[in-house]
Amino acid sequence: MQKLSLRAVQKLTCKKRDAWWTVLLVDPVATRLVCLFARFDWITPNRVTWAALFVGLGSAGFFLKGDYESLAIGAGLYHVSFILDCIDGKLARLKGNGSVFGGWLDYVFDRIRVLFCALALMGGQFLRTDEPVFLLAALVVVFLDMLRYVDALQIYKMRMSMRAKIEAVTLARQAEAGVKEEDQKVVFMEDLLRANPLAEGETLKAAATTRPGQPEVIDLHQQFRKSFPWYARFRHALLRTRIRPHLISGIEFQMFIFIVGPLVGHVLVTTAVSAVLLGAFELVIMFKFWLSTRDFTRTMERLAPDSVPTRAGSISPHLQAGRHRRREGDQGRPDTGADAWTDQGDPYSRDDLRLQEHPYSRDDRDRQDLRGSQDHPYPHDARTEPDGWNEQVTWMDQRFPAPEPDDDPGFQPYPHPYPAEPEAQDTAWLPRVPAQPHPGHHHADSGQSWS
């Protein structure tokens, strides 16, 4: 195999944006090792991932001893483990033999390495100093590491969901406008910046919209850039050296705790400072994502006004129609409306109902059905007229109608609290069935045992 060009390997395997620790302290070593490992077919990305895990566990074993020499060796092994962790991805990109399982394996092994190293490092210091604060520090390290990666995955998932919704609406509008299917496309500002990291956003947007037939550029970070105009200059200054603006990420958090802290001999202080910095940058990312969701809402209101709720923060009107609400313009009452007689002597108002005796109250459970009876406690028309109760029931059904299925799909009428007892039936005419002996019991007539 011919010797590989280092510059070509760097251009092919290194990311356009990466953590500053990786750019400055890992890539110069990792790319040269990739050129060496690529010569051997038996060195695969998954085997490199396994090697990174074993070296990381070896560093955890030295962390557990707790003395300075062991901490220094553990820090060196952890850095070697991280270099191998970067090599597996670069080797997969170079040889084109990456897999979905390999990406999952890399992610899981990273979490295992952090867990064991955190417990070993803080546990070793606890055994030496007998200070419980190191046990708390171990929990904080594991929690923040998991929070960082879970939050990153969830934000990525939501961003892809927003993009998918915008793409669906935009493509539908283009289809309605008669645009050919092969010409239908959606352009996002983040894609333009990713392809041209050193270009200005407004310049890319102007160049894209001036092309004939080019759709508008969707910018989901417009409000963030307007609120922080200096961020673009800061971002461009870092990207010239391939360093991403997220200066304290999960990588720097791990390196400071497992390499810098053991080497300087102040594990607890380094852990506290790293945790504060990581938390601050995570809050910035959450704030940026919140602004992006607002840009998404405004974009959807502009592209598809009918699909965005206009009564945000209020109860939907269709949920207010049911037996628990009075409808406007009630029928069946001679008064001017529902609001006009609610508190004016209505026998079924909220205050009067508390004073009336319910036919199925606890003291009257043995009372018979009072429909049409003379001692009914409800209004006078129900007591004096033979059909007064039926008229009152009809009026109640009109006043409080049951919602339609599409009006209130979750409504289920309450069952009767005291269902009527079934009538007794005469069973004398039924033929008598002779009793059957239980299996295993002795039959009195035959003297045989049923078994």
Q: Per-residue pLDDT tens for 29-40?
A: 999 999 999 989
Query: Which is more confident, 353 or 257?
Result: 257
pTM above 0.85, yes or no: no
State whether residue 92 is helix, strand or coil: helix
Q: Percent of the chain, pLDDT > 90?
A: 43
> Can you tell me the distance from the alpha carbon of 104 to that of 116, in angstroms, rounded to the nearest whole number?
19
Residue 275: C-alpha distances to residues 43, 129, 145, 151, 279 (Å): 36, 22, 10, 15, 6
pLDDT higher at 70 or 328: 70
pLDDT, tens digit, for every residue of 271-326? 999 999 999 999 999 999 999 999 999 999 988 877 655 554 555 555 555 544 44
Residues paired with residue 188 on neighbouring β-strands, in sequence order: 218
Among the listed residues 252, 269, 2, the one whose alpha carbon sits nearest the alpha carbon of residue 148 = 252
CA–CA separation, 275 and 255 (whole Å): 12
**DSSP code, position 443:** P
Does position 329 have pLDDT exceeding 80, yes or no?
A: no
- Closest by Cα among 198, 204, 250 to 22: 250
- Tens of pLDDT, residues 173-224: 888 888 787 777 888 888 888 877 777 777 777 777 665 556 678 889 989 9
Tell me what pLDDT residue 207 has. Answer: 74
* pLDDT value at residue 202: 75
Residue 256 DSSP label = I
Q: Is 50 exceeded by the pLDDT of residue 1? A: yes
Q: Above 70 in pLDDT, residue 360?
A: no
Q: What's the mean pLDDT in 122-128? A: 95
Per the prediction, the chain carries an average pLDDT of 77
Tens-digit pLDDT profile for residues 132-177? 999 999 999 999 999 998 899 999 999 999 999 999 998 888 888 8
